[in-house]
Amino acid sequence: MHAKGYQDATVADIVAAAGVSREVFYAHFSDKQHAFLETQNHPTQHILDRCASAYFSGSDWPQRIWNMLRTLLEMIAKNPAISQLRLVECYAAGPEAIRRAEEITRSFTIFLEEGYRYRPEAEALPKLCTQAITGGVFEIIQRHAARRDYQTLPSLLPQLTYINLAPFMGAENAISFLREQIRQQASQKP
Residue 106 lies in a domain: yes
Residue 161 lies in a domain: yes
Residue 25 lies in a domain: no
Residue 80 lies in a domain: yes
Q: Which pLDDT score, from 0 to 100, does residue 154 have?
A: 96
Residue 118: domain span? 44-188
Treating both helix axes as pointing N-terminal to C-terminal, what angle do 80-87 and 61-78 enclose, rounded to 10 degrees? 110
Contact 108, 64 (CB under 8 A): no
Residue 94 lies in a domain: yes
Residue 27 lies in a domain: no
pLDDT in tens, 23-77: 999 999 999 999 888 888 777 888 899 999 999 999 999 999 999 999 999 999 9
Q: In whole angstroms, what is the distance from residue 178 CA to residue 169 CA?
A: 12
Q: In whole angstroms, what is the distance from residue 106 CA to residue 135 CA?
A: 8
Residue type at 26 in one-letter notation: Y
Residue 3 lies in a domain: no
Cα radius of gyration rounded to whole Å, the chain? 19
Residue 11 lies in a domain: no
Q: Indicate the number of domains in the chain.
A: 1
- Looking at every residue in the chain, the average pLDDT score rounds to 93
pLDDT in tens, 101-116: 898 889 999 999 999 9
